[in-house]
A and B are shown apart, each in its own frame.
Chain A
């Protein structure tokens, strides 16, 4: 069997780093993509040494238009065909809409929406149709629930949900498998570590470790699952969401909003 290669965006930290470790432990070669000075060379050499897979990396800004073809030009120059694409890079926020400037939202939409769409397009163009290719789009439970202070982030993740579901229809029967990952909160960056630690009750119980989420996600991706929701409590929430009438959900969200405004 040939050794597969995976492209991971946003690979230097958090969930992206966990994807890199998880795929390397399954003997899949890696192409790591992240911003300059985010620790990619160190991560790459660590993975090469400890997992004995090939690791290439690209330090680029994925909000720049020239970055998308640059990744695939680099791959063809290195004679690498990618078999997996992990659209992981993203920018979150937890703030009132008027608190952030337009530059932030532009960047957020570019990274969360434009980047995965264009990379998926270019990835499919180079895919080897003789073997199965896999795409994992990292969405969020926030793409399903309306959460206050996540207005633009949640909207970008709703976009990813629609995009992924639609491509699943279009590519049905082909040699390409696309999965949507819809995680709840994940303990990733240090700033989040402090915030997540302050949560209580159900909100706290939905928070998961990145290594655990990555393992579940890659298992689901390779099995061809359409949507992967890690964590029992998160799955129960999604089930409740589909059962509860819209009016009840609205009351719950309004109550949540009231407690958020108070705090």
Chain B
């Protein structure tokens, strides 16, 4: 069976392409540049040049495909042109949906994010919980709007399953949007020196190969119109770095930076970016988020899709081995 994967050079998309190829699918791997270093070479992977912003290229790529995995997104922390988030995540997703509807694609899996829920209060969020905060972070805002686009197409009878991975880490390249990979590899080089605040804030970390399996299970068993959180364990910053320290065998002293200091620094960075156009290291909307937990429950996916969670220590062990070899 022919399947299209958009974002085939991305952190999730490339591993998904490889797993599908190894399971015997004919994978068309959509990427803007087929010479991209992160594109995986495999006899079942056919690289296709295209861009989700150009519908014509999507039409060519989807020819003969029965299934589409739409993983392409603008997931960076910062873009020089802030409209890029809306273009890629909302308009791009609408394009993929429109072309898929016309090309006779049978089913689609759309990769959203737990960021559409954002901060949590006490208990882990699940699919039916409401979002409690606003949308100051452009990535979360545009991914939320993209989910509304998906809902519109579902109403018209299209078969689309949405998956919502949490913070994904694992055996893959340290791309710009792979924030966990950036943190871990910096720690191993002795370049990561701080923990925000008390370090007790909790986030949810999903292991890449679990997330990839979750995508494939969502295509096979997922109900159209439903959303499935694909997460992992809820881990505090302190536990995160304790595990990284134990697994890597490298002990670096980390300083607890007060959240107020991080917030002030983020405003300096924002001003720097506004004046010079240089990439900011950190922005106020992310500093604000450090005050909250981000806990998510993958129960629905576990029950309905047979989703499995790799224990954090085990996943981190594999990740660090991968980063050591890379």
Contact = CB atoms under 8 A, between A and B. Distances in A.
Do they bind each other? yes
Interface in B214-236: none
Interface string B123-167: 100001110111110100100110010000000000000000000
A190 B145 contact: yes
B134 A209 contact: yes
Query: Which secondary structure characterizes the binding site on chain B?
Result: loop
B122 interface: yes
Contacts of B144: 190
Interface of B: 82, 86, 121-123, 128-130, 132-136, 138, 141, 144-145, 148
30 contacts: A17-B130, A17-B132, A18-B134, A39-B130, A42-B129, A46-B129, A46-B130, A46-B132, A49-B122, A49-B123, A50-B122, A50-B123, A51-B121, A51-B122, A187-B134, A187-B135, A187-B136, A188-B134, A190-B145, A190-B148, A193-B135, A193-B145, A194-B86, A197-B86, A197-B138, A209-B134, A210-B134, A211-B132, A211-B133, A212-B134
Given A49-B123, A50-B121, A193-B145, A43 B130 contact: yes
A46 to B, nearest CB: 5
B91 to A, nearest CB: 11
A42 B136 contact: no
B144 to A, nearest CB: 7
Contacts of A21: 132
Contact of A42 (B82, B128, B148): B128
B203 to A, nearest CB: 17
A25 to B, nearest CB: 8
Interface in A196-228: 197, 209-212
Given A42-B130, A49-B123, 19 more contacts: A17-B132, A18-B132, A21-B132, A42-B128, A42-B129, A46-B129, A46-B130, A46-B132, A50-B123, A187-B134, A187-B135, A190-B148, A193-B141, A197-B82, A197-B86, A197-B138, A209-B136, A210-B134, A211-B134
A37 to B, nearest CB: 14
Nearest to B147: A190
Nearest to A188: B134
With a 10 A CB-CB cut-off, give which of A46, A188, A209 has the most chain B CB atoms: A46
A194 B134 contact: no
A197 B144 CA distance: 15
A21 B129 CA distance: 13
Contacts of B136: 187, 209
Interface in A105-138: none
A252 B141 CA distance: 33
A50 B134 CA distance: 18
In this complex, the interface size class of chain A, counting residues with CB under 8 Å from chain B, is 20 to 34
Nearest to B148: A190
B140 to A, nearest CB: 10
A94 B114 CA distance: 32
Contact of B145 (A188, A194, A209, A211): A194
Nearest to A214: B134
A209 B134 CA distance: 6
A212 to B, nearest CB: 8
Closest 4 CB pairs of A and B: A209-B134, A50-B121, A50-B122, A43-B130
Contacts of A193: 135, 141, 145
Nearest to A39: B130
Nearest to A13: B130
Interface string A163-203: 00000000000000000000000011010011001000000
Interface in A39-67: 39, 42-43, 46, 49-51
Nearest to A15: B134
A188 B82 CA distance: 19
Contacts of A42: 128-130
A190 B134 CA distance: 10
Nearest to B125: A46
Contacts of A210: 134
Contacts of B128: 42
A46 B129 CA distance: 6
B285 to A, nearest CB: 9
A194 B86 CA distance: 8
